[in-house]
Amino acid sequence: MAWSTLAMVAVSSVGLVYVYYGVMKLPKGVWRLFALLPLIAFYIYMPLKLATVFERGFVSFLFTWLTTFKLLLLCWDAGPAADPWGFSTFPRFLAVISLSLQLKTKSASQARAAGGSGAHQGLWHIVLLRLFLKFLFLALLSSIYSFRIQLPGWLIYMMYSFHIYVSCSLVFDGLAMIVSAATGIELEPAYNKPFLSSSLTDFWGKRWNLLVSNLMRTAVYEPVLYVYLDSQRFSQVPLWPRTLALISCFVVSGLMHELLFVYISLSWPTGEVTAFFTLHGILAALEVVIRRRFRLKVTKLVSIPITLCFLFFSSIWLFYPPLFRAGTEEQAMAEFQHFFCKLLPENGCS
């Protein structure tokens, strides 16, 4: 029997009540971890019971990956869900851990004193306009997909790339706007103009899906450094442990994307998406070494096109093939077209 996303979210919310009022009363460490195992098992299993590509991708990304990582960090009172503001009430805890939202670095009290919010209060209409334009862009892409057989391959891949970016930013920006308007707290943006990336470290660390970047920094990067350090003074860490920690983040991200692709395509992993992120991790670490050792600077007029071209062609090589091979992209496009046809019936869709 197929579950709905709303049913899974409801069960997850009940599970997080158990976490907030029960598990967090236990001593930090293995006792909390043991108590969380049933909920983590639920997050791992349930995406397989969802009917559509969008549901499986959305739920596995938010819950199987991000929420599970946050729960693991909570075992040791670490991570974004352990923030004093986010943990002060259950609704805030639920929003931070389930919706993968992250507070700005300034404290909640400072944000309230400044009168700020994720929608910037006076600029909320601009945020709404951006969301509306992104929605129209997705509707336009949906209509163009009907003619994709007549389009060159490179253009189809580019459309898919824009589709991933716009749909993800639409979801996360919309969630952030709603929660920010309800709480008055300024939230970190999920994306920061990734099309202006001047290097791989700039793209993955400062522009693309910053919610994941920040979480991986806490869950993987810092623990790898702790293994090397006798103390927690990161400013004195040599270059090679930093590069090892950076590559470790990419490898873990690759493995988690591999798992997401299993959920999305309902097919066995191929290792290609893990290779994609491992390759990017090695090259990002090489960037750091060259930048530190040789003080090499390249004008953005050169570095931005090179970075975007590498991202695009490496995606064609390693990222997209598992989805194409399983026919997942066809199913995903059919779902989007069905959605927009139901929403905009005047377009003449059947």
pLDDT for the residue numbered 98: 83
- One domain for residues 282 and 156: yes
- One domain for residues 159 and 282: yes
- One domain for residues 144 and 241: yes
Phi, psi of 192 (to 5 degrees): -135, 75
Q: Is 115 within a domain?
A: no
Residue 342: band (very low, low, confident or very high) from pLDDT cuts 50, 70, 90: confident
Q: Is 251 within a domain?
A: yes
- One domain for residues 168 and 295: yes
pLDDT for residue 266 is more than 70: yes
Q: What's the Cα-to-Cα distance from 272 to each of 15, 212, 279, 314, 321, rounded to whole Å?
A: 34, 20, 10, 11, 8
- One domain for residues 20 and 95: yes
pLDDT digits (tens, 9 = 90+) for 278-295: 999 999 999 999 888 887
pLDDT for the residue numbered 297: 82
- One domain for residues 55 and 156: no
Q: Is 120 within a domain?
A: no
Q: Cα 34 to the chain's mean position, in Å?
A: 26
Phi, psi of 187 (to 5 degrees): -115, 150
Distance of alpha carbon 68 from alpha carbon 176, whole angstroms: 20
- One domain for residues 78 and 27: yes
Query: Between helices 90-98 and 5-21, what is the axis angle to 10°?
Result: 130
Q: What's the Cα-to-Cα distance from 74 to each of 80, 121, 234, 279, 280, rounded to whole Å?
A: 9, 32, 22, 30, 29
pLDDT for the residue numbered 234: 58
- One domain for residues 146 and 93: no
Q: Is 117 within a domain?
A: no
Percent of the chain with pLDDT over 90: 49
Q: Is 305 within a domain?
A: yes
- One domain for residues 275 and 135: yes
pLDDT for the residue numbered 116: 42
Q: Is 78 within a domain?
A: yes
Terminal alpha carbon distance of the chain: 28
With a CB cutoff of 8 Å and minimum separation 6, the contacts of 172 are 100, 190, 191, 211
Overall number of domains in the chain: 2
Q: Is 204 within a domain?
A: yes
- One domain for residues 47 and 145: no
pLDDT digits (tens, 9 = 90+) for 4-26: 788 888 999 999 999 999 999 99
Residue range of the domain that includes 86: 5-100
Could you tell me the pTM of the whole model? Answer: 0.88
DSSP state for residue 10 in the 8-state scheme:
H
pLDDT digits (tens, 9 = 90+) for 182-197: 666 667 788 999 999 9
Q: What's the Cα-to-Cα distance from 256 to each of 44, 66, 148, 271, 278, rounded to whole Å?
A: 11, 10, 30, 11, 12
Distance of alpha carbon 125 from alpha carbon 285, whole angstroms: 40
Distance of alpha carbon 232 from alpha carbon 278, whole angstroms: 27
Residue 88: closest CA among 109, 72, 65, 111: 109
With a CB cutoff of 8 Å and minimum separation 6, the contacts of 115 are 121, 184
- One domain for residues 139 and 278: yes
With a CB cutoff of 8 Å and minimum separation 6, the contacts of 162 are 137, 141
- One domain for residues 155 and 236: yes
Q: Is 105 within a domain?
A: no
Distance of alpha carbon 115 from alpha carbon 193, whole angstroms: 26
